[in-house]
Structure 1
Amino acid sequence: GVYAQSVRLTGPWRLSLRAGESAFELPATLIASESVNGIWRSRHRHGPIEIEQTVAPIADPPGVIRTLRTTTSEVVPGPLMIENHWSPYLLPVLIEGIRPLLFHAETRGEELRLRQREFGLSFRSTVLPTRLYLNRGSWIGGRYEGRLEEVASEHELLVAPGRTAEITFLIHGGLEREIGRRDAVEPALADPEMAAGRVGTADATWMERTPILRFPDAPELERAYSLARASLRRLYAAPGEGLTGLVAGYPWYSAIWCRDLAWMLPAVLWLGDVDWVERSLSSVFHYQLHADVPILGGRPGELPMQIAPGPIFLYGTSDTTLYYPGLIDRFIRHSGRTATAPSWNGVLERILSWGEARTDPKTGLFRNGGEVHSVGAVKDSLARVHYGIDAADTTIWDSTDRRDHAIDIQVLWNEALGVGARWTSRGTDDPRSARWTAMADRVRDTVGRRYPWPEEGYLFDSMDAEGPVRKVRPNALRAVSAGWFDTAFARSIVHRAARDDLTTPWGVRTLSRLHATYDPQAYHDGQVWTIATAWAADAALAAGEQDIGMAYLETIARRIVEEGGYANECYRGDRPEPFNSCFLLGFSVAPFLTVVFERLWGLRIDAPRVRLTVRPVFPVTWTSASIAGLRIGEGSVDLDWSPSRLSVRWSGPSALTIVTPNGEGSVPSGTRRAFDLAARAGSKWARVRPRGGMSKGDSEPPRGSSVGKLRAFQHPVASDRAPAPYTTPSLEINSRGWIRASRRRTCPF
């Protein structure tokens, strides 16, 4: 379909062609296609007729421009007849499949306009139509009001050997007040390449400001990063009326879904676009409720589930609001804009008050679910209202019931309380800080006591009135990423998730196939989701399971590369086939990017203190990796890594402190400094050879030598970063697989 200003203007836009008695469709005649700088080009051949098609989004006017250039090698009987047809939508996508029925249509000279409430679209072409059709019936133009299922137009194009015939179509719109501006429409029709090129130029400028990552030992991962970064850019949206953000995905999530936005904004921060993040957060906070709105499922302090032009906004989810305290904290850490924090204190306080009202006083756990039932109770008294969602619960897996205390919701609530406690305590003696700290500790303590599932070596998915919910879902991995458990149990959870009932070669299922309710086609009860695979990568790397984490990252990278950057929303649980899926979903590509920065590179930015922590966990076989142009506050840093050395170049207003596993040091502005990543002085490092024995040295040997792997041991040995519970007083192992006997003792094997 065609989208503009976060509004779905049309459904699929199809072209049918006829030359004499021979009719054909463009897809059936395709011989080649490519996408360059946001412009999609395809070549087609039908008998003697060759067609070059160009399809591109344009920003002014907002819409899509489509051009056909035709040539023929011999005389064609009569003109080439081109019919284009599409169904109007003219609505932000609230719930997939919903579209209005009643429209207003009128012709104005060379233009066809459609209107539905405050939304509108305009259709123009450089070759005037010979016929117009509404609902497959011929229409002479003028005005029409009523049901409208399909619009079509027929155009004659004269083709002859030795000459090129061309026709350009333009569909643009969104908010009705934006359509029909001749100062923008006429130049776009006169020079469609120039109009389309502006989008490509803007994209190129944006890309130049984002970090460049190089992984010479993993070219597919490097390619996936580049493609995912470009795909995230495609989701940027600023449709007006003070709205800024990223739409959730295409084809049916073209509004700003605030849960999806919350998963995308960390990646946008890592890409350095802090201004867009600040505007996006302000857009969401503008719609925070200050009173009950039962018909929308909203309570005071709650943030919207969705915002779109109109404005249209919906509430009623358990998790959306909980993401944003952590996002505020991330924004300050990346941007260094501490002056912004006080303006958001009220937002944060209202979020925590909303959460406290949903907390179970007996356990301290956050209660999820019940929102849709509340809406239903209100709408029953309003005969004309039908709420289109019948889910019992509204966590991220909102088509299944995970009441009452889903594990990932407890992780979010704990994080929100922690952020609130830290920010309210800065510079003041606020009693709420102590209360929120105690509440956060209680949530974590309750989960630690009640959620472990000994038989599975895993975590229960939720708790309800009858006790634990015994379902193996990937959501439990969020507690591992949060660092809630010791190394042994964290690794147990990661290994349990890696079994083939939950993990497939193409990603991680939303529910184990061993559960009675598993269905490979069920949206949230068996399908494979890319975001769940990113959770698994994140948790594995956090727990020190490098090989498992890299396998998950490589799975996502392979899908992104194979799909040209458009990572699908979900796949069947029994085979690697997209099913009922967006072809591009923001929270499929964005979490992958975030894991690459935060877990694989091991980066943590603290712009207010001008600090960067670098603790990479690259595979033992890697020889180099680099980042160029990583933004930290008002400066940027370049990192060049090798197994024994980290080179840092910094440009910023003051010196940058770099923290590595071996300590920390300062990099003055405009200079480059190298940091030693080899073994600390006084330590002996050794490598276990495949057949036993060991080699010894005062420092880690050169990268050229072969390296033993942790999986040679029956039981894992913890790294320096995660010492408990396997570390002994005499034995440690670093993140690259080298063993050190402390106090110069002999290794005990």
Structure 2
Amino acid sequence: MANPPLLIDIRHPMLLKAGDLVLLTREDGDVPGDEPGFGLFYRDTCYLGAYRLRLGGAEPLLLMSSAEEGIAARVDLTNPEISAADGRTVDGHGLGLRRTFLVQDDTFVDVIRVRNFGTGRVVLPVALTFATRFESTFILRGTPPGRRGRMHAPSWDGKALRFAYEGADDVLRTLTATFSLPAVVAPRTTEGCAAHFELALDPGAGLTLAVACRVDERPVGARPPAPPRVPRDPEAARRKAVAALLDGCARIEATGGGLGKAVTRSLSDIALLDVRRGEHRFTAAGLPWFVGLFGRDSLLPTIQCIAFNPDLAACTTKALAHWQGTKDDARTGEQPGKILHELRVGEMAHLGEVPQTPSYEAVDATLLFLIAIGHHAEWTGSLDLFRALRPNVDRALAWLDRKAAENGAGYVAYDGLAKGDQPVNQSWRDSGNGVLRADGAYPVPPLALVEVQGYAYRARKLIARLLRRAGEGVAADRLDAAAEALKARFLKDFWMEDEGCYCLALERGGRQVASVASNAAQVLWTGIASPKHAARVAERVMRPDMFSGWGVRTLSTDHPRFAPFAYQQGSVWPFDNALIVSGLRRYKEDAAASRIMAATLDAAKGFRLNRLPEFMAGTERLPGGGPTHTPRADPLQAWSAGALPFMLVETLGLHADGFGRRLEIRRPMLPDGVDDLSLHGLRVAGGKVSLRFVRQGDAVRAEAVGKTGGVKVVVT
């Protein structure tokens, strides 16, 4: 997702999410107010731009913080030397504070527990400052402001502090805060509204101040919501929410290597990105800026995690089907049958000031939509989703036929220029510099990206299988024939014999964009490559100019425009490497797959909470060093979260035949450093399977340790 870069560093925020509600704070729990990456966000709007805790006018000192659970966080603080309410000096480090944050639905709770470890009584002045402008996240990321509505002055009725904004889109957005203790000074001023409290603490005694903030949006003139209530037992609420996070998801146990922790982190992050809006449920693309319905960015993680929770693919494809294109619209890129790229719901979207209403500017989302439906059927052994979305599938296939017919060679391509000769890129390499010729110049659209042709091949093959299952052999044969014809052309037109890999794209006139890029290895995941080509591609991307030690780079270091910190000019993307691992395993290039899996796991250990970011720098791995962070990379992206679970499934060799009620384990491998691994509750054909993998010398023994639903497990 190419967007204006932020000029702040949000690599290490406290990051919490529940549904549409996202809270990003500094590690001490504060929202600083002067950095637009932090705040309380809800449906593409920043509801709280500043939230600060002060003790006697001073900023508390951070001791530790943890937000590992994703919906809750803990921060331990102490005090600098401050003045008490009676003017006495309170020595530094004499007070202990613990802030416990919890986000639920439309409310976040901040429970502040203070304890006096000194020998004298302290009357502690506590202030909580709030500020908001209800700004669109587009504005925070650099888009010029559009029409604005009317801000209400903050109001205080003795119980609740209320902020309100009547948007130019006729939506009333409100933030309401309530407190468990009475304020000694009423919140005041429209610029920096602060609630003041005095906590009388005897030696050894403690007090708790809890704050609850609720966000709401509804039509102007509608009755306002009730003020939020602090949970009677916030800790019990936290435990309940955490326990429910991975309901319905398969679990992992592993000894050594940190794999179990990293994969569980990934699955928890995927669960955090679950969003429900009205009748629809889907996997959001990422945090903090992409809590919304996307095409490729929502579909790929559901494909990656299909073995752990197939419901994700079913829900997301249904949501996307609702917004499937019905007409040609040059502004948004909509076309009949096309799947959207991005849907926004805030004020600027409602007013039509941004094109994401939705935008359809993605060449690959429609193909991934079909692939997700196909994979869902493979694992569940059910045609229910296919049948429910059959009209959408037919329209998506018609779109694919249309795109192939538009291109003289039958490829799926996109057109358009942004400025000068720079293409408007519509693949996952959607930055302005994402697709470059070998000499560094921009190619001339229309552009047919190499992996997109693989997606088209895989989509046709998977849907053909479902049509054959449904008794529609003629339609299945037509799709198979189209796929094989595409493959024959592809193997000839995209191959670069001198480089030993596929070119990045074909530009106008069928000329090769001859850059060496990771896309060439993604092709292996789709099955369109020949075995001979696959072996050479595997060797090529594992050379030092492509393999950094942390993964395969998006662009060779030999390229004149290589830039290791740039978005897609040599950085390393976890999702990209996950697809590459799957493809390498498909073509039995197991050694290369194992190296990439090990590198990705090592990289995860180098990031906070074992959370792989959107991308990492493509700098060379140094002995004893860790992966290089990049400030522009979003800290939590769905397809990065899905990377390790997908790599694990492929490394273990799991292949489901749901219609045959069979789970095949092909050439099982274990990641380096892991000698014993179990997966519990894999869902196949309506049943559940638990597996154990044990290293025995150079081999790995695999066995089923639990089964329901009559599923047969076969090791080959």
Question: TM-score, normalised on structure 1?
Answer: 0.75
Structure 1 pair 649/56, CA: closer, same or farther in 2 (3 Å)?
same
2:424 to 392, 396, 401: 392
Q: Does 1:561 align with 2:605?
A: yes
Name 1:631's counterpart in structure 2.
Answer: 683
Hey, what's the Cα distance between the residues in 1 that align with 2:692 and 2:199? 59
SS at match of 1:439: helix
SS at match of 1:356: helix
Name 1:302's counterpart in structure 2.
Answer: 338
CA contact (8 A) 1:74 1:160 kept: no
Q: Does 1:69 align with 2:106?
A: no
Structure 1 pair 529/95, CA: closer, same or farther in 2 (3 Å)?
farther
Cα RMSD, aligned residues only: 3.1
Structure 1 pair 291/602, CA: closer, same or farther in 2 (3 Å)?
same
Shifted more, 86-95 versus 248-257: the winner is: 86-95
SS at match of 1:569: coil
Name 2:174's counterpart in structure 1.
Answer: 121
Share of identical aligned residues, percent?
A: 16
Name 1:277's counterpart in structure 2.
Answer: 313
Hey, what's the Cα distance between the residues in 1 that align with 2:184 and 2:370? 54
Hey, what's the Cα distance between the residues in 2 that align with 1:246 and 1:438? 33
Hey, what's the Cα distance between the residues in 2 that align with 1:345 and 1:151? 54
1:160 to 201, 216, 236: 201
SS at match of 1:295: coil
CA contact (8 A) 1:80 1:159 kept: no
Name 1:231's counterpart in structure 2.
Answer: 269
Name 1:676's counterpart in structure 2.
Answer: none
Higher Cα radius of gyration: 1
Hey, what's the Cα distance between the residues in 2 that align with 1:107 and 1:195? 29
Hey, what's the Cα distance between the residues in 2 that align with 1:601 and 1:17? 52
Hey, what's the Cα distance between the residues in 1 that align with 2:676 and 2:331? 56
Hey, what's the Cα distance between the residues in 2 that align with 1:432 and 1:128? 71
Name 1:584's counterpart in structure 2.
Answer: 636
Matches within 5 A, 1:695-734: none
Hey, what's the Cα distance between the residues in 2 that align with 1:416 and 1:617? 26
**1:610-659: per-residue Cα shift (whole Å, max 9, x none)?**
11111143159875433222111221112233447543245434x33333
Q: Does 1:647 align with 2:703?
A: yes
Hey, what's the Cα distance between the residues in 1 that align with 2:224 and 2:611? 32
1:256 to 282, 287, 293: 293
1:43 to 76, 86, 96: 76
Aligned partner letter, 1:104 = M
Shifted more, 613-622 versus 400-409: the winner is: 613-622
Name 2:14's counterpart in structure 1.
Answer: none
CA contact (8 A) 1:16 1:83 kept: yes
Distance apart, 1:95 and its partner CA: 9.1
Hey, what's the Cα distance between the residues in 1 that align with 2:659 and 2:223? 44
Hey, what's the Cα distance between the residues in 2 that align with 1:180 and 1:555? 52
1:192 to 234, 245, 267: 234
Hey, what's the Cα distance between the residues in 2 that align with 1:474 and 1:269? 24
Hey, what's the Cα distance between the residues in 2 that align with 1:442 and 1:230? 41
Hey, what's the Cα distance between the residues in 1 that align with 2:609 and 2:470? 49
Aligned partner letter, 1:658 = V
Distance apart, 1:325 and its partner CA: 0.6
Aligned partner letter, 1:291 = K
Name 2:666's counterpart in structure 1.
Answer: 615
CA contact (8 A) 1:9 1:121 kept: no
Name 2:461's counterpart in structure 1.
Answer: 418
Hey, what's the Cα distance between the residues in 1 that align with 2:495 and 2:669? 30
SS at match of 2:335: coil
1:219 to 257, 266, 269: 257
Name 1:521's counterpart in structure 2.
Answer: 565
Hey, what's the Cα distance between the residues in 1 that align with 2:314 and 2:119? 59
Structure 1 pair 277/52, CA: closer, same or farther in 2 (3 Å)?
farther
**1:493-522: per-residue Cα shift (whole Å, max 9, x none)?**
122112222222333322222211222332
Name 1:344's counterpart in structure 2.
Answer: 389
Structure 1 pair 93/57, CA: closer, same or farther in 2 (3 Å)?
farther
Matches within 5 A, 1:5-84: 6-10=43-47, 13-19=50-56, 23-24=58-59, 26=60, 29-35=61-67, 37=69, 38-46=71-79, 47-60=92-105, 62-72=106-116, 73=118, 79-84=124-129
Shifted more, 522-531 versus 447-456: the winner is: 522-531
**1:389-411: per-residue Cα shift (whole Å, max 9, x none)?**
x9611110111354511001101
1:447 to 462, 469, 490: 490
CA contact (8 A) 1:325 1:416 kept: yes
Matches within 5 A, 1:429-444: 431-444=474-487
**1:94-146: per-residue Cα shift (whole Å, max 9, x none)?**
9944577545335262231323343623231315484656xxxx33xxxxxxx
SS at match of 1:224: helix
Hey, what's the Cα distance between the residues in 2 that align with 1:90 and 1:198? 33
SS at match of 1:440: helix
CA contact (8 A) 2:99 2:112 kept: yes
SS at match of 1:550: helix
Structure 1 pair 644/541, CA: closer, same or farther in 2 (3 Å)?
closer
SS at match of 1:548: helix
Aligned partner letter, 1:415 = R
Structure 1 pair 515/18, CA: closer, same or farther in 2 (3 Å)?
same
Distance apart, 1:569 and its partner CA: 0.9
**1:640-688: per-residue Cα shift (whole Å, max 9, x none)?**
33447543245434x3333332xxxxxxxxxxxxxxxxxxxxxxxxxxx
Gapped regions of structure 2 (runs ≥ 5): 1-23, 25-38, 80-91, 351-356, 436-444, 620-626
Hey, what's the Cα distance between the residues in 1 that align with 2:209 and 2:132? 21
Name 2:5's counterpart in structure 1.
Answer: none
Aligned partner letter, 1:221 = L
Distance apart, 1:294 and its partner CA: 3.1
Structure 1 pair 593/174, CA: closer, same or farther in 2 (3 Å)?
farther
Name 2:215's counterpart in structure 1.
Answer: 173
Q: Does 1:362 align with 2:408?
A: yes
Distance apart, 1:7 and its partner CA: 4.2
Distance apart, 1:74 and its partner CA: 5.7
Distance apart, 1:455 and its partner CA: 1.9
Distance apart, 1:451 and its partner CA: 1.4
1:107 to 155, 158, 173: 155
Matches within 5 A, 1:295-334: 295-309=331-345, 312-334=357-379
Structure 1 pair 543/606, CA: closer, same or farther in 2 (3 Å)?
closer
Hey, what's the Cα distance between the residues in 1 that align with 2:294 and 2:258? 30
Q: Does 1:459 align with 2:499?
A: no
Q: Does 1:540 align with 2:584?
A: yes
**1:223-281: per-residue Cα shift (whole Å, max 9, x none)?**
2112211222111111x222311221112112122211111112442213x34432222
Aligned partner letter, 1:586 = A
Distance apart, 1:84 and its partner CA: 2.6
**1:8-31: per-residue Cα shift (whole Å, max 9, x none)?**
4346644242426xx22x4xx111
CA contact (8 A) 1:58 1:64 kept: yes
Distance apart, 1:195 and its partner CA: 4.0
Distance apart, 1:180 and its partner CA: 5.8
Name 2:517's counterpart in structure 1.
Answer: 473
**1:364-418: per-residue Cα shift (whole Å, max 9, x none)?**
1111243x76xx9xxxxxxxxxxxxx96111101113545110011011112222
Hey, what's the Cα distance between the residues in 1 that align with 2:556 and 2:306? 33
SS at match of 1:294: coil
Q: How many residues align?
A: 615
CA contact (8 A) 1:4 1:173 kept: no
Structure 1 pair 201/617, CA: closer, same or farther in 2 (3 Å)?
closer
Distance apart, 1:69 and its partner CA: 1.9
Shifted more, 68-77 versus 548-557: the winner is: 68-77
Name 1:290's counterpart in structure 2.
Answer: 326
